[in-house]
Every structure is written in C-alpha cells, then in structure tokens.
Amino acid sequence: MLVLYTASPVFVDPVCLSGLAKGKMLQYAASSGGNAGMMHMHDGVHGHRQRLRQRFAVSGFDGFHDYEVLELLLTYAIPRVDVKPIAKRLLKVFGTLAGVFDAPVAELTAVEGIGEKGAVFLSLIRQVEMRYLASDIQGRSVFDRPEKVKAHLRMLVQGRGMECFGAVFTDQQHRHIATQILFEGTVDRTAVYPRNVIKRALELDAKGLILFHNHPGGTERASAEDRQLTRRMQEACAPLDIQLLDHFLIAGTSVLSFREHGWF
C-alpha cells in the first residue's frame, strides 16, 4: 500500500490510483488526437491557399472559377479558415462578381462567415479600380485614350440604383482636370441645372466638358429630353468659350456617345 503525504496521511487504494492514472492517460490521448486533427485541418487550409496563390502567380485568373477568385481574395482577409463556402455564399446572394464588388459593406457583412474585415476588404476592390482608372487619365488628353475615359465613367456609375448626371472637366488642350457627379435623382430621371454645371466649370477654369449620365435600368437609348438638354448645355457653354466635347450615356456595360450618334 502506498502512502501519499499531505497535511495528514491519506491512504489510497492501488486499484483506484490505477483507474485515475488510466483515465488521465485516456484524456491526454484524446486531447492530443484532437489537437492533431486541428493541426491537420489548418495544414490542409494553408496548403490549399498556397496552391491558389501559386496558380495566380503563374497564369493570373486564367482557369479560375468566379468563386475561386473570391476565395483567393478572402485568404488575405480571413485567416486560418476554409473560405470556399463563404465565396460560394457570396455568389449565391449577389449573383456575379460585379454584384459582390458593388455591394455595400452592410450587405456583405450580412453574409454568414465573412465578417466586417472581409466585407471591407472586398469593397476595396472596386474603389481601387476606380482610383486606378482615374489616375490613368489624369492630366492626359481625353481624346488620347477615349476607351479609358469610358471605362472610368462606367466604373464610376456602375451599381448605382438611381440616375445620376456629371461631367468630365478638361483644360484648353482637352487634358483631364476632374470628374464629378453633380446631380442624383430617382430610378429613371434626374433634375439637371445647366447653370450649376457652368459654375463648376468656371471654378475649375475648365475649357472643355464631357457630360455623362446613366440609365440604371440598362436602356441604351437617349430620350428626347436627353438630347434637348445636351443642346441647351452646348448653347450655354458657347459664350463662355467652353467647348462641349461629348455626352456619354452609360447603360449597363455600354457607353454611347451623343456626338458619334449625331445627337448634338
């Protein structure tokens, strides 16, 4: 019989002691097995993330499914978690990559598993592209890169549920000064005040204007009111030596030029 010394002698049955020891060993083994399982799972997630990144490094997004594009992006915002289910949930909720990137942070956060950090990270994608396109035309003639200007405007109004109206302001050599949305309205109309457009042009010392507005419903046709407004703007600009260069209608992924269609 073993004697364990504490404040006073305590006698323990060897059978009980053996049972206790055996229980501890089983508990340790279970704990060790659980930790090993967790480590194995983390290793698997880490390995999958590395493979995604290596694929992108070699060939960009060629061969990627849309959910894999989101999955790769989310690996930089959500650590140590399998983000594939989250990526697939995002596409199920918002339909397309464009729908995901256009979604407000509050709506992204509502998707299970993404969290605020992941939602903010995804919202950065569109904002970065907007800054990229704007920087690519800054100080350059709008006629040197017309497709870049159209892409810049398309990105600016994409995802807006309301009609808006704005202008690209240029200098005497048609170099880009600024792009601004000046008026916002309802789903199918916007009140535009030519005087305010001219006032802003004078404040920027602009000598050229490209007007633009969107049709959220995707209608690729200028209304009679659209064409009339364009002519009024041209008349208002002429006495001030400001040239109306064009008016773009943005409908979905299409950008229509009023000048090319002979609408003014």
- Domain ranges for the chain, please list them: 45-131, 141-257
Residue type, 215: H
pLDDT digits (tens, 9 = 90+) for 82-104: 999 999 999 999 999 988 998 88
Residue 242 is inside which H or E element, if any?
none
> CA-to-CA distance for 131 and 117, rounded, in angstroms?
21
Considering the segment(s) 141-257 as one domain, its CATH architecture is 3-Layer(aba) Sandwich (3.40)
The pTM (predicted TM-score) of the whole model is 0.67
Q: Which alpha helices (DSSP H) does the chain contain, by range?
A: 14-59, 66-74, 84-94, 97-102, 105-109, 115-137, 146-157, 194-203, 224-237
At residue 42 the predicted structure's pLDDT band, cuts being 50, 70 and 90, is: low
Q: What is the pLDDT of residue 25?
A: 46
Are β-strands 208-214 and 243-251 bridged in parallel, bridged antiparallel, or unpaired?
A: parallel
* Rounded Cα distance, 253 and 179, in Å: 19
pLDDT for residue 232? 94
Report the candidate in 119, 84, 85 with the shortest Cα–Cα distance to residue 100. Answer: 119
What digits encode the pLDDT tens for the residues 207-228?
999 999 999 887 888 999 999 9
* 251 vs 134, higher pLDDT: 251
- Kindly indicate the confidence band of residue 26, based on its pLDDT and cuts at 50, 70 and 90: very low
Mean pLDDT of 137-164: 87
How high is the pLDDT of residue 158?
83
What pLDDT, on the 0 to 100 scale, is given for residue 134? 83
Query: Nearest-CA neighbor of 86 among 128, 121, 41?
Result: 121
Contact 75, 53 (CB under 8 A): yes
Count of beta carbons in the 10 Å neighbourhood of residue 5: 7
Distances in Å between the Cα of 59 and the Cα atoms of 45, 55, 80, 260 are 22, 6, 25, 38
Residue 7 has pLDDT above 80, yes or no: no
pLDDT for res 34: 52
Give me the pLDDT at residue 122, please.
94
How far out from the chain centre does Cα 32 lie? 43
